[in-house]
Amino acid sequence: MSHDRKKPTFSLLQHTDKLSIVLFFVVWELLPKLGGIVETFIVPPSTVAQVLYEMAKSGELYPHVSISLFRAASGFATAAILAVPLGFLLGGGFRTFERLVNAPLRFLGQVNPFSLFPLFMLIFGIGELSKGSMIFWVCLWPILFNTINGVKAIDPLLVKSARSMGTSVFTLFFKVILPAASPGIFHGLKMGCGTAFFMLIAAEMIGASSGLGWLVWNAQINFQMPQLFAATVLISALGLSLNLSFGALESRLVGWKQKSATDNT
């Protein structure tokens, strides 16, 4: 009975979300038609779609999208490869090691990444390595700290029960610890993915000649408002698509955890 009562509310929320999106685009389309300064600085979505179509048709868009995705993926993957094992190490049984490095890591995680731009460029130059390093830096911390929290949230009784049945270390890790910590890991990966794209745009505005961030910067300095809005909308769409992809992957791989939590409530 409780599930039947929730269905109308859930359906109403879905329709409200769709209506708000439609209303947003309608207002966005009509607002520039007011004229004056609004028309100068706000480009309607119909024009944005036309600019994106023309850029895609001419082949101008694909190199910028591909290089941006490559930079974001390389920095994000490097951060994940380092942060996930380190998170298990710090969140596991190595208490002395955790106490030694926890405070410095927490401090470094709070450092504003934009303040490190000059340092990264001084060390790595203005090439691809500096951009990848910036993305790696901002992705590292959400993945690391969420992995640590995910490992620490594992029920000790679950591990003790597995050990009491003579489970090997290999089986214990891959069949018990890793699945139990996976929600926290995926949460960190989703945060890191969004942060990677956010930092990528900022990194490409400095010392780059290609990429979506460079498109935004170039359109800004040349006051090309349609191209500026088109690049911004595309960046937002790609970021949202990546976030939804991670969400779908999380639901597929750790959906049992969410279903179990719902059943318990």
Q: Are residues 190 and 90 in the same domain?
A: yes
Q: Are residues 27 and 58 in the same domain?
A: no
Q: Are residues 53 and 127 in the same domain?
A: yes
Using DSSP's 3-state secondary structure scheme, residue 119 falls into helix
Q: What digits encode the pLDDT tens for the residues 124-175?
A: 887 788 888 889 999 999 999 999 999 988 888 888 888 888 888 888 888 8
What pLDDT, on the 0 to 100 scale, is given for residue 93?
A: 67
Q: Are residues 185 and 209 in the same domain?
A: yes
**Selected residue with higher pLDDT from 255 and 98:** 98
Q: How confident is the model at residue 115 (pLDDT cuts 50, 70, 90)?
A: confident
Residues 28-38 have a mean pLDDT of 74
Cα dihedral sign for 22, 192, 178, 96? negative
Q: Are residues 30 and 51 in the same domain?
A: no
Q: Would the pLDDT of 200 be above 90?
A: no
Q: What digits encode the pLDDT tens for the residues 181-194?
A: 988 998 899 888 88
Q: CA 179 to CA 159: how far, in whole Å? A: 12
Q: Would the pLDDT of 13 be above 80?
A: no
- Residue 76: closest CA among 29, 142, 172, 125: 142
Q: How confident is the model at residue 2 (pLDDT cuts 50, 70, 90)?
A: very low
Q: How confident is the model at residue 112 (pLDDT cuts 50, 70, 90)?
A: confident
Count of domains for the chain: 2
Q: Are residues 99 and 36 in the same domain?
A: no
Note down the domain range covering 13.
1-42
Q: Are residues 172 and 106 in the same domain?
A: yes
Q: Are residues 3 and 14 in the same domain?
A: yes
Q: What digits encode the pLDDT tens for the residues 224-242?
A: 899 999 998 898 888 888 8
- Residue 203: closest CA among 108, 65, 66, 72: 72
Q: Are residues 90 and 31 in the same domain?
A: no
Q: Would the pLDDT of 265 be above 80?
A: no
- Residue tagged 């995910």 (tokens): 150
Q: What digits encode the pLDDT tens for the residues 54-98?
A: 999 998 899 999 998 898 889 999 999 999 999 998 887 677 777
Query: What CATH number is associated with residue 222?
Result: 1.10.3720.10
Output the six-digit token pair for 242: 């990546």
The helix (H) or strand (E) run that includes residue 111 is none
Q: Using alpha carbons only, what angle is made at residue 74 by residues 226 and 190, rounded to the nearest 5 degrees?
A: 75
pTM exceeding the 0.85 threshold for the entire prediction: no
